[in-house]
Amino acid sequence: MQPGPAKKVEIYVSENQQYHHEPAARAILDFLFYHGVAGATMTHGAGGFGADHRLRAAEVLTLSGGLPVKIEFIETAAKAEELLPKLADMAGHGLIEVHDTTVYKPAAARSAPRSVPGHERLAGTAKLMRIYIGENDRWRDRPLSEALVESLRAHDIAGVTVYRGILGYGAAGRLHRERVLSHDRPVMLSVVDSEDKLRAILPLLDEMMTSGLIALSDVEVIKYSHRPAAPAADAKAAQ
């Protein structure tokens, strides 16, 4: 961010709104974080109503649920325009506002963000990426394995699975065992997606990993699908 004209984006969703089986507000915040947005703020409403005209209030004797949540951020017009289509999808029936604003003093300088296109389906020839790290590895005071999973998801990578090893060693030649007092067991992340998408995210993975190994190999995707939601859960959510 630099001083000058910018856009302020405000996104309103409800606290019980879901996106890919997680709270939509948290998914939106993760998306903004891992797409290099300069900064974002989430606030929780004490009351309000939306398009359905149902009043919700945070009162001791009122268990209404579905209170409003607002996520707002300020970015360049070009960056906001790039993110808005995906944010509109994630916000679902929520509201998005965009305002002209002026940045007088930016919080911090940011490098150019990376953009990775989303996927619609996965079939046929693809790439398998294996990421080898240690259980103790960190990124910005967080477990590196968790940060990598969230980053991959925010960039619409088709899927990732984390495995914890029981024995292994890496570039340092130090043996890591699964013992009661061991706190640095090997960890492997397995990722499958198209070659273009995986290679596009490699610079970000290189930035997040101070050590470890990344390997790519050819695979053939036979089936890629998700488990449908249980009818009972859908019926309960609709009440």
CATH number of residue 209's parent domain? 3.30.70.120
CA 178-184-188 angle, 5° bins = 85
Nearest in space to 116 (alpha carbons), one of 145, 75, 89, 151: 151
Beta-bridged to residue 163, according to DSSP, are: 188
Q: Is the pTM of this model over 0.75?
A: no
Q: Which of 68-77, 188-197, 229-238 has the lowest mean pLDDT?
A: 229-238
The verdict on residue 183 lying in a domain is: yes
Q: Phi and psi for 127 in degrees, rounded to 5? A: -125, 140
Distance (Å, rounded) from C-alpha 88 to C-alpha 15? 17
Q: Are strands 167-169 and 175-177 parallel, antiparallel or unpaired?
A: antiparallel
Shared domain for 153 and 89, answered yes or no, is no
Mean pLDDT taken over the chain? 80
Q: Phi and psi for 51 in degrees, rounded to 5? A: -65, -30
The verdict on residue 227 lying in a domain is: no
Q: Which of 9-13, 43-47, 77-81, 102-106 has the lowest mean pLDDT?
A: 43-47
Q: Which residues contact 53 (CB under 8 A, 6 or more apart)?
A: none
The verdict on residue 177 lying in a domain is: yes
**pLDDT grade, residue 188 (50/70/90)?**
very high
* Alpha-carbon distance values, 197 to 119, 127, 169, 191 (Å): 9, 9, 29, 11
Question: What confidence score (pLDDT) does residue 48 get?
Answer: 59
- The pLDDT of residue 227 is above 90: no
Shared domain for 150 and 203, answered yes or no, is yes
The verdict on residue 118 lying in a domain is: no
Shared domain for 95 and 143, answered yes or no, is no
The verdict on residue 94 lying in a domain is: yes
Higher pLDDT pick, 148 / 167: 148
Q: Which of 66-70, 142-146, 202-206 has the lowest mean pLDDT?
A: 66-70
Question: What confidence score (pLDDT) does residue 174 get?
Answer: 64
Query: How many domains are contained in the chain?
Result: 2
Mean pLDDT of all residues in 121-143: 86
- The per-residue pLDDT for range 32-64, each reduced to its tens digit, is 999 989 889 999 876 656 555 565 554 544 445
| Domain-terminating residue out of 70, 103, 136 | 103
**Full residue range of the structural domain in which residue 214 is found:** 124-221
Shared domain for 42 and 98, answered yes or no, is yes
Shared domain for 131 and 93, answered yes or no, is no
**pLDDT grade, residue 182 (50/70/90)?**
low
**pLDDT grade, residue 163 (50/70/90)?**
very high
Mean pLDDT of all residues in 163-174: 72
